[in-house]
A and B are shown apart, each in its own frame.
Chain A
Amino acid sequence: MSILELKDVGEMYRVKFIAEGQINWEEVWACQDISFSLNKGETLGIIGQNGSGKTTLLKLISGMLIPDRGSINVGGRVSTLMELGAGFNPEFTGRENIIVNARIYGLEDSLLHQAIPEIIAFADLGRFIDAPIKYYSQGMYMRLAFALAIFVNPDILLIDDILAVGDEEAQQKCVKKVFELKEQGKTIIVVSHDMHMIRKLCDRVVLLEKGRIIKDGTPLDIIPYYLETVGDKRGIAVLENMGFRIVFNNGRLVINYLGLPVTKGIDSCAFFYQENTALTFSSFNLNWKIRTLSLDTIIAEGRNQEGLVLQEWVIQIEEGVLKWDVNIQGLPVKRAYVNLFLDPRYEDWVGFYAQGVFPNFAYRSNWQEMDLGYYSGGFLGIRALTADSCPAAVITVLGEANRIRLFNSGYEQEARIGQIDSSNGNISLKIQFHSGDAQLKEDLEQEKRKFLVKEQAERIKQQEWCSISSGVMRLVADMENKALKLFYKNQEITRGDGLHSSFLLNESWYNTSTCQWELKKENEALILRFSWQEGNFIQLWKLYFQDGSLLWEATTEASLESKPESLKFGLCARSAYKSFFCGGQMQNFSKEFSHWQDMPLENKFAQLLGLVMEPELPAVVLENKNKLIGVIQNSDAAANFRVVQLMLPPELLKDGVVGFSTRLIFPENPDFINNYVAQGE
């Protein structure tokens, strides 16, 4: 049964145009050829851009305007929520305003008596109901006006985007009431820009453009179409190829695959953070222009107000894979990221280190991060519960400084969010879709392998950057584990912290592996700066190879208040070393690693000390020119290594600045040590 019927309705305005002193009256049709009928109990949403005639249509239906053409049949009482609180007199109290305006709003006399307490209860004004409404807050004013309009008990309720007024609590209350009225079977017509609300509230949506209905259907059909086409036409491009349907709309991206939605709404976009302004810029605030549109590529550039190109997007479909590159330029960028708003029907995800299921949205207003374990580059597989709701996809990060994170939004946005961020302003990713689970798994495996290889390559590259070498010897600063490692023919001869320094301060030992590292490579020398929070302790090392031996120079700076009681430099070596020497002494380590023990040395101040060579391992010899105290240790079973150290005597530590230097020699000829030991010093 239709309660409302519009037939070829048109409404014309005569608009005065004043240009260069010339006045022109022009006819503008705000609505044209509008025909539709609405059944009782239906909820209709009217959407469209500003100026598309939404409010005019609502006014025509309400009878506030008389159509110039066509006819409107309304089969019931209409109440409008358009300009809430119109007709309220600020000098009158809330109660007086209700009574004075009740009949104007259409409240029947018989209902007025019982409606007043209800209106007051809904408006929740407390004592303020008897205060002049000029003292009301916006929220109170809105609640009162809303209550009055809603208790009129209309057959058709018209709502014009008013629910965006007032505080959030008032809004929530009013929105809840509208939903209640819908449940009660009222016919409701809503004009709104809030697509989330339209989607939830309406059974049917009509889309207006330039005063005409261009689409009429369910919210699921109309809203995505509207969102895709809204905005500046120069900034919109659609790519339809190999099952993909990709819409670029003024700095936002909508992705569909085989007719199924991947992204949600049009919220997918890029942001970047500029440090010197401390502002975050979003891509949809730029002026976009499509530079290239071909069968498989969209290239778009976004300019700021000054016309400077800030973002360039390249969207490409290549061999069934979607590639999305965002290039941020023009400004120094500290951090940039892309938010990919994914459909909430995606249920679970697979990362490199972990996998999981998305939680539901209830009771959460903040984003919640999914624990992917460890992120650095990487990829992500996502899957919906059923393959016919959303296509399974693998998102892979391609850019060098990109990493991927995953979030679950709050209940308002209801989306899964893949966030790909970058420290240099270049974001590059690809998305591949899969129809079957097997295919998805295979692709994930493949990505996993690629990722491993990539990670390894990255590690090697990093090693090159922070290492020095001479012949078969190489010294590598492992920044991640805070260890200086010595390699002989690509085989590590050190263990644990490798080359290290430690000191005793206030009865605690501190180590180079527990401090702040800074590394610099200069003229084939590694320059390291270590700083400890405790006692403002700083060490500066310089390490370089000379004639096959490693020179090690170090300076230690301590504050005056706290001087270390003991300071040691040395190295930890593999347990493959079975014997050591010191001066004329040559001895085997004890076979078992049971507890930390000092090897008894005959001459602690011997000029040379170290480890005797083994098969495939060179000898390690430390020069002790400055008569420091030599220490040779055997570790416990857990550490499982040998230690050779030089200790600075306490009297040397009295000054704030202490120097240390030694030379490490790696003789490959057993005679070197044998001769030295034989000489007996």
Chain B
Amino acid sequence: MKIIAERLAKVYQQRGILWDMALSQFKARYAGAKLGIWWAVVTPLILAASINLVFSSAFKIGIVNHTILILAGILPWLFFNNALMEVTNSFFLHSCILNQSVFPRDLVPLSAILANLFNFLLGLVFLLPVFIFINPKIAIFLPYLLVIIFLHFVFIAGLGLLFSVINVFFRDLTYFLSAIFMIWFWITPVFYPLEMVAFPFKWVCLFNPLTYFILAYQNVLFYAQAPALSVLTELVLLAALSLSVGYLVFVKNEPFLLKRI
């Protein structure tokens, strides 16, 4: 735990570099694209619309404002998915910087996740009026949203550190993950309410830690409810566990990791 605290203190010290790296990655993402940052909004909209089309017309599932429900889940899901896919390869992507300059190596995965957070926030900021327009009560619960986003970020950061380190030693992880995320998407209640799933299949969803984050997002953005204290505690525990494991693995493997890149 002490090591993690030290590391986090160092990251905080060098937050300038972290910020610069994340910003340059964020900028680089849309550099040269005609629509630019609007892709941060357009992508989730297209996804939500297409999923809605499939489920409402083909499967005749009737939930009020189904599109809004999907949108409330798909935004955090896209953040989770994109960030982890990107961070997994981050040490190879940025190996040249690591060979040029010396700074805390954890900044490499963290900055990749931070860049994706910018992307997520951008999409959220543009779509928030839509949520509020549908259900104005949401506005009251927005502070909760910030807490959830922070915990979600920490959760992803821990997984990101873990994945990025493992990927240096087993490069198969990148390909494995792209398959895993497909399954992960289906077992996460993004486009269906959890209540629709019956046991024993429900266990699968309940064992999926991301379920709790998505439920929390949907709670605030769709149902306009404050998340229960128990839910928040769950989220804090999940985030802390993820970060601890991620950092421990990272610190332990750092000397070997450097030799591989």
A104 touches B258 (CB 8 A): no
A91 touches B101 (CB 8 A): no
Residue among A62, A92, A103 with max Cβ neighbours from chain B (10 Å): A103
B28 within 8 A of A: yes
Give residues of chain A (66-83) contacting chain B, Cβ–Cβ below 8 Å.
66, 68, 78-80, 82-83
The answer for the CA separation of A91 and B23 in the assembled complex, in Å, is 14
A104 touches B31 (CB 8 A): no
Selected interface stretch from B70-78, B90-98, B174-182, B230-238: B90-98
Select which of B23, B96, B98, B102 is within 8 A of A100 by beta carbon: B23
Select which of A66, A80, A109 is within 8 A of B101 by beta carbon: A80
Selected interface stretch from B14-22, B122-130, B193-201: B14-22
Q: Give the number of residues in B that approach A within 8 Å (Cβ atoms).
A: 23
Residue among A68, A79, A86, A92 with max Cβ neighbours from chain B (10 Å): A86
A13 within 8 A of B: yes
Q: List residues of chain B with CB within 8 A of the CB of A109.
A: 16
B254 touches A66 (CB 8 A): yes
The answer for the CA separation of A83 and B97 in the assembled complex, in Å, is 9
The answer for the CA separation of A174 and B16 in the assembled complex, in Å, is 29
Q: How far is the CB of B172 from chain A (nearest CB, A)?
A: 15
Give residues of chain A (210-241) contacting chain B, Cβ–Cβ below 8 Å.
none
Q: From DSSP, what is the main secondary structure of chain B's interface residues? A: helix
B13 within 8 A of A: no
The answer for the CA separation of A79 and B255 in the assembled complex, in Å, is 20
A164 within 8 A of B: no
Q: List residues of chain A with CB within 8 A of the CB of B97.
A: 86-87, 104
B100 touches A82 (CB 8 A): yes
B34 within 8 A of A: no
B20 touches A103 (CB 8 A): yes
Give residues of chain B (1-59) contacting chain A, Cβ–Cβ below 8 Å.
16-17, 20-21, 23-24, 27-28, 31-32
Select which of A11, A62, A89 is within 8 A of B28 by beta carbon: A89
A548 within 8 A of B: no
Q: List residues of chain B with CB within 8 A of the CB of A92.
A: 24, 27-28, 31
A532 within 8 A of B: no
Q: List residues of chain B with CB within 8 A of the CB of A62.
A: 102
B60 within 8 A of A: no
A66 touches B258 (CB 8 A): yes
The answer for the CA separation of A487 and B31 in the assembled complex, in Å, is 95
The answer for the CA separation of A160 and B126 in the assembled complex, in Å, is 48
Contact mask for chain A residues 86-113; partner B; CB cutoff 8 A; 1 contact, 0 none: 1101011000000011111110010000
22 example contacts (A-B, Cβ-Cβ < 8 A) are as follows A13-B259, A59-B99, A64-B99, A68-B255, A78-B102, A80-B102, A83-B96, A86-B96, A87-B94, A87-B97, A91-B32, A100-B23, A101-B20, A103-B20, A104-B20, A104-B21, A104-B97, A104-B100, A104-B101, A105-B100, A106-B101, A149-B100
Supply 17 further A-B pairs (C-beta < 8 A) apart from A65-B258, A91-B32: A59-B99, A63-B102, A64-B99, A79-B101, A83-B99, A83-B100, A86-B96, A87-B96, A87-B97, A87-B100, A89-B24, A89-B28, A100-B20, A100-B23, A101-B20, A109-B16, A149-B100
**Cβ-closest 6 pairs across A and B:** A86-B96, A86-B100, A87-B97, A66-B255, A63-B102, A91-B31
